[in-house]
Amino acid sequence: MFKLIHYRNRCIGCNACVEIAYQRWRMSKKDGKAVLLGAIEKKESIKFSLTRTNSPKMNKR
Task: Give CA separation, 22 vs 5, 42, 43, 44, 48, in Å.
Answer: 17, 23, 25, 23, 15
State residue 33's pLDDT score: 95
State residue 12's pLDDT score: 96
Query: Quick one: pLDDT band at residue 55, thresholds 50, 70, 90?
Result: low
The amino acid occupying position 49 is S
Q: Decide if pLDDT at 31 tops 50.
A: yes
Lowest mean pLDDT among 17-21, 31-35, 54-58: 54-58
State residue 5's pLDDT score: 84
Helices then strands, counting H and E runs in the chain, come out as: 1, 5
Helical segments of the chain, H only: 16-20
State residue 41's pLDDT score: 80
